[in-house]
């Protein structure tokens, strides 16, 4: 494992950040944290409820606070939300405070993995493929510029992806 204080996973919805992160934390004896879960616990509401009640900008502010608080610590594997890299200050913080891995996934695989998921407000529409495609176009350059390493999860289930990524680190 490299000497960075934290291992930080970035990438889109359905890349497996939480599942892979939890498994890597176990393997390396680190603590696992999930930025969305931190926001939900602090707010006493789900991400979907926060989007609905307060709007996306207020959620993004909560997400900034989550990242700043969590990355005040060392020894974490941190799963970020798919939109965390939108903010330039977040990107700088992630790079400063950890070794950042971009978990890559295609839109087709995202659609498969998220088919039964109704918790993500950005996907609460019929045209999921278009939404995910547009997000990928806008965000993939940001993931790439933030990450120290890109890891393709497309052909692997999360457990296999975690094991293969863990072998690389």
Residues engaged in binding ligand S3P (CB under 6 A): 13, 17, 36, 47, 81-83, 120-122
Instruction: Look up residue 80 and give its DSSP letter.
Output: P
Closest CB to ligand S3P among residues 26, 52: 52
Q: Please give the annotated binding residues, written as ranges.
A: 14-19, 36, 60, 82, 120, 139
Closest CB to ligand S3P among residues 47, 76: 47
Q: CB of 61: closest distance to ligand S3P in angstroms?
A: 13
Question: How many angstroms separate the CA atoms of 154 and 141, rounded?
Answer: 18
Q: Please give the annotated binding residues for substrate, written as ranges.
A: 36, 60, 82, 139
Question: How many angstroms separate the CA atoms of 51 and 154, rounded?
Answer: 28
Tokens of residue 79, six digits: 């799963």
Q: CB of 121: closest distance to ligand S3P in angstroms?
A: 5
Sequence-distant (6+) residues with CB within 8 A of 71 are: 6, 8, 78, 93, 94, 97, 98
Strands (E), 75-166: 76-79, 99-104, 149-152
Q: CB of 157: closest distance to ligand S3P in angstroms?
A: 17
Closest CB to ligand S3P among residues 30, 132: 132
């Amino acid at each position: 494992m490299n000497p960075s204080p934290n291992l930080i996973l970035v990438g889109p919805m359905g890349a497996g950040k939480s599942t892979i992160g939890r498994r890597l934390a176990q393997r390396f004896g680190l603590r696992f944290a999930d930025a969305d879960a931190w926001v939900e616990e602090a707010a006493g509401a789900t991400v979907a409820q926060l989007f609905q009640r307060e709007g996306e900008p207020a959620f993004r502010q909560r997400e900034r606070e989550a990242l700043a608080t969590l990355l005040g610590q060392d020894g974490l594997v941190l799963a970020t939300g798919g939109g965390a890299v939108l903010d330039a200050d977040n990107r700088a913080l992630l790079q400063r405070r950890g070794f950042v891995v971009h978990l890559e996934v295609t839109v087709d695989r995202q659609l498969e993995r998220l088919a039964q998921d109704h918790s993500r407000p950005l996907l609460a529409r019929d045209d999921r493929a278009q939404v995910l495609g547009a997000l990928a176009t806008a965000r993939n350059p940001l993931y790439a510029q933030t990450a120290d390493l890109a890891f393709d999860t497309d052909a692997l289930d999360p457990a296999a992806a975690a094991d293969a990524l863990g072998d690389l680190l």
